[in-house]
Amino acid sequence: MAHGTLGVLLLLAAWEVIGTYRLVGSTWPSISEIVVFAASPSRLALYGRALAATAEAVFLGYLVGAAAGLAGAALVALMPASRITTDITAAVINATPPIALGPLFIVLLGHGAAPVALAALNVFFVIYVSVNAGLHAAPRARHDLFQAFGASRGRTLLRLLIPSAIPHFLTGLRMAAPPAVIGAILGEWFGAPRGLGVLIVSAMQNFQITLLWGAVMLASIVSIILFAAFGVLERVAIRRYGD
Amino acid sequence: MHPSEQTGGRASHSAAISIRGVSKSFDLKGRPVAALDSISIDVADGEFVALLGPSGCGKSTLLRLMAALEEPSSGIIEIENRPAAELARSHRLGVAFQDHALLPWLSISDNVALPFRLAGLAVDHARVNELLSLVGLSEFAEARPKQLSGGMRQRASIARALALKPDVLLLDEPFGALDAVTRRHLNGELQRIWQQNSITTVLVTHSVDEALYLADRIVVLSGRPGRILRVVDVPFGRPRTREMTRSAEFHHLCDDLTDALRGLAEEVRAA
């Protein structure tokens, strides 16, 4: 933990130095410049509106994506024969560049849906893979025990497979944080009314470098907070459900 | 079941477990490897049989076949005149293995109650408490498995095996990973528990001492593929005491069986 904090501090210090002395040119502002720039009431309100829109998309994306990921993993657990089909479908969806999917979502779901849809898609894949792994995590000795006690498939799922998968599910929620935020921002590029993604695109097109980096920083902070919060839950789950 | 009915049933000495010409081979990189060869044993109702053999002789495999965790390649295993798998399916089998397989997210008391839940029965809390006190874990009922010592976990796993008053108890080196002193102590407790319940029991072990102390009959298996080498009736009455283990007869049998095992171990090394 101490090493991690030190690493972050070093990174931030390097960023500040590079920005202050323009070591890599004018497109790299220092952190203090970004903070001072953002600290005016009108800009705070601008960032706030954008953050609220993106956070909402990330939240809904998590809900939809996690539910879909759990449903996919449950399908595979109940019908092992479907595994190959489901795995390949999930992998193909994940391998398709989201840029190509954005227009598709606009056609299918309407203009405002792309941020939630792309966030959900990214969350889905991570949750599907991690829960699938979790459902196979119970050691052989425990399966043998359940079989010897005559447990049905349903009771084995309920009392062995699902509890064994809980820590993996939370690992999945943690790992899904950055992809969820990136998905929401990318989705906002397809004509969302507001959001950090919208701010990033318009700042880029108008060469407002400091505004751009402020939005990027906010997006990173959202990622990091989610990542850390799910990390805490994950550790609790491992303490309870792990050996 | 009423106690007297249970005793009556046992007096008939019908074979509770009947193993007829059982062989088992595994596929190892496309090549069949024989683990067991033409095993035939009858275990009487209420009898305690120890399977003794060098490591890798297939004694655990034989136990897994009885638990219907695996299928024999040939031959028949019947328990109470029905296929072995039916006993497990009807929740009348108790098992405890070297890996205690306690669920880390359940308390000790809930782990002992697990067989009730897996059978879809209401948990008999009085029975769970009785078992916990039988194995000396009453004070640890609400503890998690990881808070307990290795010996305590094994005792919990034996209590769990007994929860539904099974017809057959299968034990695979339940104390194998413990130190000698704890192991001896738990063997004493196992005998006491077994005498109170008198369930048809098969114990897999590589300890001659343990087999002689606990079993009515010892089946000695040869090295791979496992074949029955000898069947020894243990002449000691019950309850067995530590004094008994110091008698000349005990030592004689112990030496005899140890020699047989040592011979087998050398065979296995030579092969």
B81 three-state secondary structure: coil
Give the minimum alpha-carbon distance from B154 to chain A in angstroms, rounded to a whole number: 14
Distance from CA of B41 to the nearest CA of A (A): 21
CB of A141 less than 8 A from some CB of B: yes
Strands B93-97 and B74-79: unpaired
Residue B111 and residue B66 share a domain: no
**How far apart, in whole angstroms, are the C-alpha atoms of residue B226 and residue B206?**
14
> Residue A149 and residue B93: Cβ atoms within 8 Å?
yes
* pLDDT, tens digit, 9 for 90 and up, residues B38-71: 999 999 999 999 999 887 788 999 999 999 999 9
Q: Quick one: B47 and B15 in the same domain?
A: yes
**Residue B197 Cα, gap to closest chain A Cα (Å):** 18
Hey, are the CB atoms on A148 and B104 less than 8 Å from each other? no
Together in a domain, B173 and B58 = yes
> Looking at the predicted structure, is the pLDDT value of residue B241 above 90?
no
Q: Which two tokens stand for residue A21?
A: 């002395």
Q: Which of B97, B106, B118 to mutate to test the interface with A (most CBs of A within 10 A)?
A: B118
Residues of chain A contacting residue B93, judged by C-beta atoms under 8 Å apart? 148-150
CA dihedral A51, A186, A114, A231 (to 10 degrees): -60
Domain boundary among B108, B132, B165: B165
A144 contacts on B by Cβ (under 8 Å): 64, 67, 69, 95, 97, 101
CB burial readout A90-115, b (16+ within 10 A) else e: beeebeeebeebbeebbeeeeebbbb
Contact A136, A165 (CB under 8 A): no
Q: Which domain holds residue B105?
A: 100-165
Give the strand pairing for B217-221 and B228-233. antiparallel
Distance CA B40, CA B57 (A): 15
Q: Amino acid identity, residue A165?
A: A
Q: Does an H or E element contain A162, and which?
A: helix A162-175
Q: Domain count of chain B?
A: 2
Q: How near does any CA of chain A get to the CA of B87, in Å?
A: 8
Closest CA to A12 of A168, A239, A207, A220: A220
Look at the pTM and tell me if it is higher than 0.90.
no
| C-beta atoms of A159 and B114 within 8 A | yes
- Tell me, yes or no, whether B264 and B228 share the same domain: yes
Burial of B3 from C-beta contacts in 10 A (0-12 / 13-18 / 19+): exposed
A235 or B197, which is more confident? A235
Residues B113, B178 within the same domain: no
Name which of B68, B95, B118 is nearest A155 (Cβ-Cβ): B118
Burial degree of A74 (CB within 10 A; 0-12, 13-18, 19+): middle
From chain A, the residues in CB contact with B170 under 8 A are 148
Q: Are residues B65 and B179 in the same domain?
A: yes
- Measure the CA–CA gap between B43 and B17, rounded to whole angstroms: 5
Q: Which of B138, B165, B192 is the last residue of a domain?
A: B165
Here the CATH number for the domain that contains residue B215 is: 3.40.50.300
pLDDT at B269: 65
Structural domain ending residue among the three candidates B110, B130, B165: B165
pLDDT over 80 (residue B89):
yes
Compute the 3-state secondary structure of chain B and give helix, strand, coil in percent, each to the nearest 5: 40, 25, 30
For chain A, positions 78-107, list CB contacts with chain B under 8 A.
Answer: none
B72 and B112 inside one domain = no
Q: Are residues B135 and B53 in the same domain?
A: no
Indicate if B53 and B75 belong to the same structural domain.
yes
Contacts of A239 in chain B (CB under 8 A): none
ipTM metric: 0.88
Task: Say if residue B18 is in the same domain as residue B54.
Answer: yes
Minimal CA separation from A126 to chain B, in Å: 25
B chain contacts of residue A151, beta-carbon cutoff 8 Å: 118
User: Using a CB-CB distance cutoff of 8 angstroms, which residues of chain A are in contact with residue B71?
Assistant: none
Q: What is the mean pLDDT of residues B172-195?
A: 85
Inter-chain touch B69–A139, beta carbons under 8 Å: no
Residue B14 confidence (pLDDT): 65
One pLDDT digit (tens) per residue for chain A, 243 residues: 567 788 889 988 998 999 888 888 888 888 888 888 888 888 899 999 999 999 999 999 999 999 999 999 988 888 888 888 888 888 888 888 888 888 888 888 887 889 999 999 999 999 999 999 999 999 999 999 999 999 998 899 999 999 999 999 999 999 999 999 999 999 998 878 899 999 999 998 998 889 999 999 999 999 999 999 999 999 999 998 987
B84 with A150: CB under 8 angstroms?
no
Question: Rounded to an integer, what distance in angstroms lies between the CA atom of residue B13 and that of residue B17?
Answer: 11
- As given in the structure block, the two tokens for residue B173 are 């080196």
Q: Are residues B230 and B107 in the same domain?
A: no
CA angle A147, A149, A154 (to 5 degrees): 60
Q: Do B158 and B171 sit in the same domain of this protein? A: no
